[in-house]
Structure 1
Amino acid sequence: MSHWQPYELHTHTFHSDGKQSLLDLAEAAKSLGFAGFALTDHNTMTGLSERNQVEDHIGIDIIQGLEWTTFFGHMVTLGIRDYVDWRQLSPFHISRGIEGVHRQGGVVGIAHPFRVGSPMCTGCFWEFEISDWDEVDYIEVWSGLFPSIQKNNSRAFALWTDLLNRGIRISATSGRDWHVKDPVKEPVCATYLHMDQDEGAEFGVINALRNGSIAVSMGPLPHLVIRNLEGQSNVGIGGTVSRKANASNQYEIVIGVDFAARDGHWELMNTSVTMRLNSNKGDIAVCELSKIDQEKVLSLDLDGVSWMRVEMFGTFHQVYTMIGFTNPIYFND
């Protein structure tokens, strides 16, 4: 049985530049409603030495990771067993390091690509040359607390959209870049991963990041499904619709919101949210959803649409902003 699980995919302990232990981090993540988190200390995996004990004690999943931290950019690597050396990589040869991660069955994601760089944050601004974007598994398009209102995240979101429009199927996530255990007053974002209960946490996380079965939200969880396709099962987030399954370009689209997701860890000022169905052709539909009306079924002509996602807007912490989004559903001709 598959289900959506909230994860935090970018964290640090005092094994690099964090101000918290792995136990501190696990306790705080559990209290914020996360099912798990990835430990991604800078250039080291030593913080994972107590992983099994902390997992058992707190009852939370901890995913093995590491954040490559270079003068030319930061890249999160997840699901690796052995250290992959990046130190000899020039700005033009990041693909060699990525290949080493993929050989171990891991995934790579560009961290905070447009954050202010040196000397404020050494290498935080992404400058590596990507010759083949298909090698990159995901982009951290929302970084930090209350990510939707940060201009550097708007640039990252625009980069992701541009890549999708170029036909590159790349996932998008959030990452708090969590360093300290102090209580937070700003909204915390979660990356929701669609996982099979029987496949194991780490495999499920890696698989979801590869497949794009991901939604990101500071509040309720947005959903998107295309159903009643001729000769094809329902297609959800990260999936691909074969146009040959339909005799026409008319599709039945289900847009929904799960208001129970991480309930108690966020608060909407209004009772409703605006759901924008966005695509390579721009917005193609808009609807309002609430706790009373949590789903809308639309019949739309999707001629010329190669990908589409849901963007969820509402008033959050007295600001009207994007609260969350889904990764795309794709279309093959």
Structure 2
Amino acid sequence: MKWLACELHTHTLHSDGSQTLEELAEGAAKLGFDAIALTDHNTMSGLIGKEEIEQKYGLRIIPGMEWTTFYGHMVTIGLSAFADWRQTVQGGIDEGIRSVHRLGGIAGLAHPFRMGSPACTGCFWEYEIENWSAVDYIEVWSGTFPSIQLNNRRAFDLWTDKLNEGYRIAATSGRDWHTQSETDEPISVTYLGIEEDGMAENGNSAALSTREETLIRTLREGRASVTIGPLLTLTLDAGGTVCPIGSTVPAVVERGKSTEQPIIANLMLDFSVRAGLWSLPKQVCRLKLCSNLGEELSLEVPVPLDGQMMPFKAQLPEFPPAIPRRWIRAELWGTVRGAHVLIAFTNAIYFNEGGYLC
């Protein structure tokens, strides 16, 4: 599987940004991104000339638009045409999401707990969602050094609550990038895991070899990992079946009975990604496996002196059959700029109800 570094929330001078699409692409390439989503407010006009810019910088540009209203901002990505945001009332966002899906796109809550009016009209999410199953993702990290911000912690908790309720919603980060001004704050990256069959054989870079629709499908399926440092990935080995992030652990039935076999978690920390563009102080971090059952596993991880890949393997704890595991994710915690923060996390791997009850 190839992991592509993505920035999924950007703006140009076609809305309230102060950069052209080419300036945005050039800046993203310098920061080691493989793909960006252009999500200008209520317009898609900034995408003019994107094919030439993609080829120039070896960067995939995904079409999108940030629905910007009085009741919330919704990032839409992968649209085949303009989706009209103007008729959406506070109780009608579900129809808006359906219209995005009809056009082949996906929809996510942008910075749902950011301060709203009068500082930022509509930035705080006030829409009444009737069908959370239709929501594709939640932008749980917004801005630079996102893991230290209280509004992002609330968004992360919202995502966790929805996972606990049984919804399968992806989590992403987005810088909400408006300008090419320099910053020394940690920058978050959403990595999307691309299967080899989703890449064309055209001799281009990994980004340009990846079909646009593949990136959209990957995000919709939640095959993503988010970080301000190393890339953290997770697979589960369940009775010989390898289950990656975003997938579902299958129920194993033998002679009419559920077979409770040990489930092995395979974790990988890749400290070589985007080399030279981020750093962590020398320390011992904490690698965790968390689920709806709470913190299931905790390992000490020393930060290596040079970029390397660090694999870990562990058996998941067993629980009484009456307590089903619904989902699980990996988290990396450590110190950044003197603060104890979440450094990286994966999206969830899910469990079938009535399947593995470990």
State the TM-score, normalizing by the size of structure 2.
Answer: 0.89
Secondary structure at the residue paired with 1:97?
helix
Structure 2 residue 349 is the aligned partner of structure 1 residue 329: yes
Is the CA contact 1:310–1:325 (under 8 Å) kept in the aligned structure 2? Answer: yes
Is the CA contact 2:296–2:317 (under 8 Å) kept in the aligned structure 1? Answer: no
Match of 2:311 among 295, 313, 329: 295
Is the CA contact 1:41–1:47 (under 8 Å) kept in the aligned structure 2? Answer: yes
Partner letter of residue 71 of structure 1? F
Q: How many residues align?
A: 330
Is the CA contact 1:308–1:330 (under 8 Å) kept in the aligned structure 2? Answer: yes
Counterpart of 2:195 in structure 1 is 196
Match of 1:244 among 252, 259, 262: 252
Distance 1:44 1:186 in 2: 29
Give per-residue Cα distances to partners, 1:49-80, cap 9 Å, x unaligned: 01011111111110000000000000011111
Distance 1:69 1:20 in 2: 19
Give per-residue Cα distances to partners, 1:29-63, cap 9 Å, x unaligned: 01111001000000000000010111111111100
Distance 2:285 2:325 in 1: 24
Structure 2 residue 131 is the aligned partner of structure 1 residue 132: yes
Partner letter of residue 316 of structure 1? V
Distance 1:134 1:298 in 2: 32
Give per-residue Cα distances to partners, 1:280-313, cap 9 Å, x unaligned: 0110000123447812211123433111101111
Distance 2:285 2:31 in 1: 22
Deviation at 1:317, TM superposition (A): 2.7
Distance 1:30 1:9 in 2: 14
Is the CA contact 1:222–1:258 (under 8 Å) kept in the aligned structure 2? Answer: yes
Counterpart of 1:262 in structure 2 is 274
Secondary structure at the residue paired with 1:101?
helix
Counterpart of 1:72 in structure 2 is 71
181-190 or 313-322: bigger deviation: 313-322
Partner letter of residue 181 of structure 2? D
Is the CA contact 1:270–1:314 (under 8 Å) kept in the aligned structure 2? Answer: no
Counterpart of 1:311 in structure 2 is 331
Structure 2 residues without counterparts, runs of 5 or longer? 199-209
Secondary structure at the residue paired with 2:97?
helix
Is the CA contact 1:148–1:323 (under 8 Å) kept in the aligned structure 2? Answer: yes
Structure 2 residue 248 is the aligned partner of structure 1 residue 233: no
Deviation at 1:243, TM superposition (A): 3.3
288-297 or 94-103: bigger deviation: 288-297
Counterpart of 1:42 in structure 2 is 41
Counterpart of 1:167 in structure 2 is 166
Partner letter of residue 284 of structure 1? E
Secondary structure at the residue paired with 2:52?
helix
Deviation at 1:250, TM superposition (A): 2.5
Secondary structure at the residue paired with 2:241?
coil
310-319 or 143-152: bigger deviation: 310-319
Secondary structure at the residue paired with 1:116?
coil
Structure 2 residue 285 is the aligned partner of structure 1 residue 277: no
Deviation at 1:277, TM superposition (A): 0.5
Distance 1:268 1:180 in 2: 25
Structure 1 residues without counterparts, runs of 5 or longer? none
Is the CA contact 2:272–2:309 (under 8 Å) kept in the aligned structure 1? Answer: no
Instruction: Label 1:10 to 1:293 Cα distance change in 2 as closer, same or farther (>3 A).
Output: closer
Deviation at 1:27, TM superposition (A): 0.7
Is the CA contact 2:329–2:349 (under 8 Å) kept in the aligned structure 1? Answer: yes
Give per-residue Cα distances to partners, 1:224-271, cap 9 Å, x unaligned: 1111x33x5200111111232672153111122111122211101025
Instruction: Label 1:198 to 1:57 Cα distance change in 2 as closer, same or farther (>3 A).
Output: farther
CA RMSD of aligned residues (A): 1.5
Distance 1:195 1:133 in 2: 26
Distance 2:282 2:234 in 1: 22
Secondary structure at the residue paired with 2:99?
helix
